[in-house]
Structure 1
Amino acid sequence: MLETELKQLAGELRLKTLGLYKMANAGHIGCSMSCLDLMIGTLVKQKRESETFILSKGHAAVALYICLNYLGEISDDTLQTFYKNHTTLPAHPAPNKHAGIPFATGSLGHGLPIATGIAKANQLLGADLLTFVLMSDGETNEGTTWEALHFAVNNQLDQLIVLIDRNRLQGFGQTQDILGDSADPRKYEAIGAEVHEIDGHDIPAIIQTVEHLRSQRNGKPKVIVANTVKGKGISYMENRMEWHYLPMSADLYEQAQKDVTETYQLSVEHVH
């Protein structure tokens, strides 16, 4: 897919993500916008059949639902049940309802240990399959992150790809001010992982990086530290912690649609 087409897709999926959040009057918008491009580059464009993708930062569930809808795994009708009673699409991903959501996530620190176990199982089976897990940088504060990574290094799980959405904001402020920069690439290199630091909004670069890592059988788990912007594409949300929580008013929703349409050079017909 051409770079211009990828940019248009990023814009279109942002508009759908905004629409779902507005319909439900729900928060966690900023964190979905920071990792949506990472999902497009991996889940949408690189994950193969029988491979596993786990969204460990489950509060960005809407971005996951929108990508699975694009892939045809979640229907348009089901998407409209988001956040409603008896839905299979709650605020955080729930398991056993959709093939693309194999585990419940949202309680941070569990996605990487699960992905590490899957990668180990594939290694034992001799299966040529990647396991992707997308984490937040705040989530790297969790002790389970480091236990799982040490296990992955010791077991030479070189088909494990860990994506870290490094937007430098977490629930209570700047990550640097909470427990320090636990998403610093040097930390992962020091324990023996293969580390790549990239622009988490450059979808062609994300795709190219994953394509390169597919061929790397060097005994090292792969960590992609993706520098991102919380609220990417929406002027009043970018780098603002409160948009981890707040829903949009009608006026702010209109402004968000305008920002995305202009930034991603979409035609008016894309806005519903």
Structure 2
Amino acid sequence: MTRNSVHNLEAICTQVRRDIVRMVHSCQSGHPGGSLGCTELLVCLYFEIMQRNDQFDIDGIGEDLFFLSNGHISPVFYSVLARAGYFDVAELATFRKLNSRLQGHPTTHEGLPGVRIASGSLGQGLSVAIGAAQAKKLNGDNKHVFVLMGDGELQEGQVWEAALYAPHNKMDNLIAVIDYNGAQIDGATKDVLSLGNLKAKWEAFGWKVIEVLKGNHIPSVLEGLHLAKSLSNQNQPVIILLNTEMGHGVDFMMGSHKWHGVAPNNDQLAEALKQNPETLGDY
């Protein structure tokens, strides 16, 4: 991975951040905090890591798949999908508008390329990803399945049922990622419902655990994802604890759960855009 390639990924991240704040500001609704915090992950996945087809096919045969479980961070998902060529970037202007395909939480009935499940009802994404991973094994398809969950989402019981199922069935083509920012809508996860020692928990459930301490640093994210792929196909699923910062890239949003689901006003938008100069062209 060359420095120039890292620079290109960083430039995409800057534009995606512009998209996020503009989308949420336009409709005065949405979730900028977690979207900004997961920008590096989704950009690395779609522009470097995943083996994917240019033309979207709902079955995803012969390509890596990604499932967004914490669907409320749809702004970053939509921006990355558009910038990766799944649909016209101009459609981002319709975010959360009436009759738009870009609803607040992704849905499949809208027929939006890149979206394979309706998500946002927290706790379900890991189960779906396991189903897709198991289908790939049954079909002799050697590609990977990736899934992103929020750390607050781990308070859902269904996550832990799925966490038991995957190692038991040797889902070693599955790579899960936890957006480990320590914040959820009502405050810090340690205050709402402590997650305890996540590394020890997932290891006890039979997963290979990777810790990425700098989840908003492109080289660190790439290193973690490449390591995850190298540890796959060894009879155990892999999970990455990705330490991110909510609101990363916009200084007044960084590190605060208060920006979980709040839209910026006009002045705040201007400041956020000033901190993230246009790199690929606005929609």
TM-score by length of 1: 0.92
Partner of residue 56, structure 2:
none
Q: Is the 8 A contact 1:137 1:182 kept in 2?
A: no
Q: Is the 8 A contact 1:42 1:206 kept in 2?
A: no
Partner of residue 223, structure 1:
239
Helix, strand or coil: the match of 1:2? helix
More displaced, 59-68 or 49-58? 49-58
Helix, strand or coil: the match of 1:135? strand
CA offsets, 1:7-60, max 9 Å, x none? 222112111221111222223111101111111111332121222111111000
Task: After TM superposition, list the pairs within 5 Å mapping 1:167-182 onto structure 2.
Answer: 167-181=181-195
Superposed displacement of residue 271, structure 1: 7.3
Is residue 28 of structure 2 the alignment partner of residue 13 of structure 1?
Answer: no
Superposed displacement of residue 173, structure 1: 0.9
Partner of residue 200, structure 1:
215
Helix, strand or coil: the match of 1:197? strand
Superposed displacement of residue 156, structure 1: 0.8
Q: Is the 8 A contact 1:137 1:166 kept in 2?
A: yes
Aligned-residue sequence identity (percent) comes to 31
More displaced, 177-186 or 27-36? 177-186
Is residue 86 of structure 2 the alignment partner of residue 73 of structure 1?
Answer: yes
Q: Is the 8 A contact 2:38 2:244 kept in 1?
A: yes
Is residue 46 of structure 2 the alignment partner of residue 43 of structure 1?
Answer: yes
Aligned AA (1:210): L
Is residue 212 of structure 2 the alignment partner of residue 210 of structure 1?
Answer: no
More displaced, 201-210 or 9-18? 201-210
Structure 1 Cα separation of the partners of residues 229 and 242 of structure 2: 18
Is residue 61 of structure 2 the alignment partner of residue 52 of structure 1?
Answer: no
Is residue 120 of structure 2 the alignment partner of residue 106 of structure 1?
Answer: yes
2:255 to 226, 232, 239: 239
CA 214–245 in structure 1, closer or farther in 2 if over 3 Å, else same: closer
CA offsets, 1:167-210, max 9 Å, x none? 10011110011221257222111211011010211222222332
Partner of residue 161, structure 1:
175
Q: Is the 8 A contact 2:9 2:47 kept in 1?
A: no
TM-score by length of 2: 0.89
Aligned alpha-carbon RMSD (Å): 1.8
Aligned AA (2:224): T
Helix, strand or coil: the match of 2:38? helix
Aligned AA (2:207): A
Structure 1 Cα separation of the partners of residues 95 and 48 of structure 2: 24
More displaced, 224-233 or 205-214? 205-214
Query: How many equivalent pairs are there?
Result: 267
CA offsets, 1:39-95, max 9 Å, x none? 111133212122211111100001000000011102123222211111111001011
Task: After TM superposition, list the pairs within 5 Å mapping 1:21-40 onto structure 2.
Answer: 21-40=24-43
Structure 1 Cα separation of the partners of residues 274 and 14 of structure 2: 11
More displaced, 21-30 or 248-257? 21-30
Helix, strand or coil: the match of 2:172? coil
Aligned AA (1:214): K
Partner of residue 274, structure 2:
258
Aligned AA (1:213): A
Helix, strand or coil: the match of 1:12? helix
Partner of residue 58, structure 2:
none
More displaced, 213-222 or 112-121? 213-222
Q: Flag structure 2 segments of 5+ consecutive residues without an equivalent.
A: 53-62
Aligned AA (1:256): A
Structure 1 Cα separation of the partners of residues 252 and 281 of structure 2: 21
